[in-house]
Amino acid sequence: MATTENTAEITAPARGLIALPQTAARALVAVGAVATIASTFMSWTYTATFPGDLTYYGSPAGLQILDLVAGAITLLFALTLFGVRGLRWLNPAGATAPVVLAAGSAFAVSWFSAIAIAVDLKGLVALDPGAYVTAIGSLIALLGALALPSPGNTFKDWV
């Protein structure tokens, strides 16, 4: 009687720093990027004394434009992970590193702006809804990006 050995290894699907399914992580990045973009058309503070006058609705200025660009780049890279036609040139390998970098930059701009407004104008009460939307939206995008599988542990894997 012959015996056979099962030599196939069972491997877990690749995960990022946060344990989420890849489709959920991609969706979080896209939703967070859309929220970040939408927040730039909202008022971030109630007073014009903060540099850049972020009090207008529908007219991004100063830091909001930086946030708009960071959110748009994050959304474009997130859409490449969904395989949207016409965006293959942007991320031909389907790598997750550019998504993490873009989401991290949107997070940095959003949170720097919100914290600067709160510190400069003496409290969180100085923040209007747009600042809260950008802070939460960019955090959601960053958490989703960190849940995407990383390419590996070496520099060569990331390049």
**Tell me: the pLDDT tens digits for 82-131?**
989 999 899 888 888 899 999 999 999 999 999 999 999 988 988 999 99
- How far is residue 109's CA from residue 113's CA, in Å, rounded to a whole number? 6
Q: Please say whether the dihedral angle defined by the alpha carbons of residues 132, 149, 158 and 79, taken in this order, is positive or negative.
A: negative
Q: Model's pTM, two decimal places?
A: 0.85
3-state secondary structure of 109: helix
Residues belonging to the chain = 159
pLDDT of 59? 85
Domain extents in the chain: 22-158
What are 57-91's pLDDT values in tens digits? 888 888 899 999 999 999 999 999 998 999 989 98
| Contact predicate 107/139, CB 8 Å | yes
Of the chain, the percentage scoring pLDDT greater than 70 comes to 86
